Amino acid sequence: MEVGFEKCNVLSKIVIPRLNVTSHYILGELEEKEREETFRLKRVKEKKDLDKKIEEIRRRMETEEGQQDKENPEVPKPLVSDTKPDEVNKNNADLKVMMN
């Protein structure tokens, strides 16, 4: 009978507390993985939404450019120049003075 009490004491004092600690540890790890997965999914969703908005803006810009081309097909797009017409005239005048 004493052996039965010893086994009961070992179970209640050692085995069950160890199992409780182990189960709490496992639950904590699972919760942490779930938080990480939720965070990862949130970032993926934000990235997809951002990509969708960028693509929508890109399509809208292409549509607007196409409409402008249809409205003014004869007008060429302006060339970008760093010099202003006044600066060109001044440079030409300086060259003429230097040649004389």
Buried b (16+ CB within 10 A) or exposed e, 6-45: eeeeeeeeeeeeeeeeeeeeeeeeeeeeeeeeeeeeeeee
pLDDT tens by residue, 63-83 = 888 777 666 666 555 555 555
pLDDT tens by residue, 41-53 = 999 999 999 999 9
Name the residue among 77, 78, 94 with its Cα closest to residue 86.
94
Asked whether residue 75 is assigned to any structural domain, the reply reads no
Asked whether residue 39 is assigned to any structural domain, the reply reads yes
**Number of domains comprising the chain:** 1
Q: Please say if the pLDDT value at position 97 is more than 60.
A: no
- In the predicted model, what is the mean pLDDT of the chain? 81
Asked whether residue 25 is assigned to any structural domain, the reply reads yes
C-alpha radius of gyration, the chain, whole number: 39
Asked whether residue 34 is assigned to any structural domain, the reply reads yes
Rounded CA-CA distance 55/28 in Å is 41
Asked whether residue 90 is assigned to any structural domain, the reply reads no
Which DSSP category does 2 fall into? Answer: H
